[in-house]
A and B are shown apart, each in its own frame.
Chain A
Amino acid sequence: MTEAILIALPAVPVATAGLVLLAPSGRVADRIALGGANVTAAVATTLVVLALTAAPGVEVTGDWLQLDVASGVFLALAAAVGLVGAIVSPAYLRHAGRGWFGERRSHVYYYAAFNLFWAALLTLPLVANLALAWLLIEGTTAASALLVSFSGKRSALEAGWKYLVLTTLGLGVALLGIVVLYAAVGGGGPGALGWDALAAAAPSLRRQTTLYAFVLVVVGLAAKIGWAPVHNWLPDAHSEAPAPISALLSAALLPIVLLIAWRTELALAPALGQTAIREVFLGFGLLSLAVSVPFLWRPLPWKRLLAYSSLEHMGILALGIGIGTPLAIAGVVVHLAGHAIAKSLGFFTAIPLLRQDPWAARRAARGVARFSSSTAGAMAVSLASLAALPPSPLFVSEVMVLLAGIDAGLLGVSASAAVLLALGFLGLSHALLEGLFGGRGKRGTGPSPRSARAVAGLSAFAVVALLALTAAAFALPGSDLVRGLTGGAA
């Protein structure tokens, strides 16, 4: 039964993509996409429940697909962000204009690409094989590059092209690592690259070759995760993509590709040793934090600011995984969920913001509270949470990761990260205050678009979800969920 649901999960969005292509009008396409998204989310929720109730054990293990605790956590992210993205997409498309595909068919092609992208994102957490994971990640590139450039503007084409070229090159490097790894395990068919098969073979692998393969795979995937210094596409793609796609890229794609790097690390750990793994992840983590923080202090357009915040948060996740203790992994789980909620809300807020103040696409938003309380409220919830202002769950998760670092004897790393996070907090707080009350932005309330009212509802929902997550965070260390993610340790 569970196996059938596993197959249904990607099948539903792929079928929705096919159906939507037959839609005679944009409005019909909206309805088909919404219906498909609800069915997809229901199937995904069933799998999430099955995965989490089986914790710390594994619900299903197969040659190509598996359902474990990590699958449940990351599937929940992809399903939730995708569903809300599908719900808010009509609000974006209503005013999107001609775009790449012309006005008449733009909804149809948007939803087709959206659903194919979403199908790949939903499948990736379930994948039990490194080669299959690579194929799906490369598949996301084609669909999402078209979505990044959906508006057809010159800047969007630049962002989409940069994303396509840089991530494809990065994945080429990762594929080189996979071939080296396949040779190292001595071949034996595609099953040799399964997580379990790699873990079983790891103790007998040559350390030097395995390390080289691991570094190639992780460095290649880093280009897709958006870790510095291979993050150049990230701010451009996130800022130029339609808001629901920016949310999917930031809150789902980046963490899910990170999961693949994490699973590779867990499988190869017996061959590599903890020190080498730590050096790779902590290096990417600290560098991403250090690169992102100066940009959080600059007056950037709203979506671009959120993009650099993604770089910062991917850095924190890298630190948590690099430290790798149960407390750090508990922090990673809280951080993943909190980041997904706050970042999605931030990108969805861009829809009414850019309707009310179109200049905010090219310069920093200013004085939003003067013309829209609902948009300003959503911005405040999103940015305050991302800045890790208590009681944001991101504050709790960052403290967990830093304490875990100190506990693991990584005092220098934790201290450096704490300083960078404090600077990032100040930068984002400054940006929030300026965005709400500062400058000589647009004045007068004017008409409030429907999307502003919808975002007000989403903000209320996000506040409840974030506070619930903060409360749940304290129960997470020592739980079955963390035990399932750390192979028994809690």
Chain B
Amino acid sequence: MSAAVAALVALGFGVIAVRRRSHATVLVALQGLILGVTAISREGGESGAMAVAGAILIIRAAAIPLLLLLARRRTPERTLVAPTTSVATRLLVATAVVLVAVAATPPLGIADRVAEHGAVALVCLGIATVVVRRPALLQLLGILVAENGVYLLAIAVSGGVPAAIELGVLFDLVLVVTVAGAFAGKIHERVGSGDTDLLRGLRD
């Protein structure tokens, strides 16, 4: 589990660092793959639970990234949206946020403390991605990183979270990704770019 958590967090940092939306999408797909394999390996051979974990793996690691890649194809950028901060600054801020959050998190009552820290780190990385990245699709990927953190904690719960809840959450996630993809397309059509900084007109 520790290696999987380390890989998930490293991929989360990658989403904050990389410039291309396609690269970030692949990193999130890899997170889905690691989570799916971890979930299957913890099910212990019970066929119903294995089927649910398998379905979740396919949706998280393949279907959702495919939806995102389609959205990216519909919203081609002539030039990459320039980040407002350098890679080093983004990584430094994200590292500081993650370290503070992990240090401040009390035991959550889940036997696997590494998974608890990993989940909190991923949720923080997801929020940080939304805050520091400007393209709409990268902000959506930030949401997915945060959701992956929650799923990591759900996998680590002894006996797992009920399949009905996991599938319900997944359905909602696909719904949100679909709607967010439509938004990304509409924003691109309206302002000629997926850069959400161009949408800053509402102020008091």
Contact = CB atoms under 8 A, between A and B. Distances in A.
A450 to B, nearest CB: 30
Contacts of A180: 108-110, 153
Given A157-B187, A169-B143, A179-B157, 4 more contacts: A175-B147, A179-B161, A190-B162, A239-B202
B150 A172 contact: yes
Contacts of A168: 143, 176
Contact of B146 (A172, A208, A240, A295): A172
B202 A240 contact: yes
Nearest to B110: A183
Contacts of B176: 138, 141-142, 164, 168
Interface string A145-176: 11001001011011111001100110011011
Interface in B82-112: 106-110
A183 B158 contact: yes
B164 A190 contact: yes
A92 to B, nearest CB: 20
A47 to B, nearest CB: 24
Contacts of A159: 202
A169 B126 CA distance: 8
B163 to A, nearest CB: 9
A contact patch SS: helix
A154 B130 contact: no
21 contacts: A131-B162, A138-B169, A142-B176, A142-B178, A145-B179, A155-B202, A158-B199, A158-B202, A161-B136, A164-B179, A164-B180, A168-B176, A169-B142, A172-B143, A176-B153, A179-B150, A183-B109, A183-B157, A208-B107, A212-B106, A295-B204
A187 B150 contact: no
Contact of B147 (A146, A172, A193): A172
Residue of A132, A169, A172 with most partner-chain B CB within 10 A = A172
B183 A161 contact: yes
B146 A169 contact: yes
A131 B106 CA distance: 23
A135 interface: yes
B71 interface: no
Given A165-B130, A180-B108, A184-B109, A175 B187 contact: no
A296 B115 CA distance: 45
B204 A142 contact: no
A209 interface: yes
A236 B202 contact: yes
A131 B143 contact: no
Q: What's the interface size class on A, roughly?
A: 35 or more
Contacts of B150: 172, 175-176, 179
Nearest to B175: A142
Contacts of A161: 136, 183, 187, 196, 199
Interface residues of B, number: 50
B190 A146 contact: no
B202 to A, nearest CB: 5
B194 to A, nearest CB: 10
Contacts of B186: 100, 149, 152, 157
A304 interface: yes
A179 B155 CA distance: 10
Q: Which 6 A-B pairs have the closest CB atoms?
A: A158-B199, A209-B109, A138-B172, A135-B168, A190-B162, A187-B159
B181 to A, nearest CB: 11
A100 B185 CA distance: 11
B165 interface: yes
A331 to B, nearest CB: 29
A173 B142 CA distance: 13
Contacts of B159: 187
A298 interface: yes
Nearest to A190: B162
Residue of A131, A169, A189 with most partner-chain B CB within 10 A = A169
A453 interface: no
Interface string B180-204: 1011001100110000100111101
B154 A209 contact: no
Interface in A298-322: 298, 300, 304
Contact of B165 (A100, A131, A139, A141): A131
B17 interface: no
B111 to A, nearest CB: 9
B119 interface: yes
Nearest to A172: B146
Nearest to A308: B204
Given A154-B191, A157-B187, A179-B157, A206 B109 contact: yes
Nearest to B182: A146
B143 A165 contact: yes
B167 to A, nearest CB: 10
B25 interface: no
A298 B172 CA distance: 38
Contacts of A160: 183
Contacts of A193: 165
Interface string A126-142: 00000110010011011
A184 B126 CA distance: 25
B139 interface: yes
A300 B204 contact: yes
A448 to B, nearest CB: 30
A218 to B, nearest CB: 16
Contacts of B149: 172, 176
Contacts of A146: 179, 182
Contacts of A141: 176
Contacts of B136: 161
B127 interface: yes
Given A157-B183, A190-B165, A173 B201 contact: no
A165 B179 CA distance: 11
Nearest to B199: A158
B157 to A, nearest CB: 5
Contacts of A209: 106-109
A151 to B, nearest CB: 11
B123 interface: yes
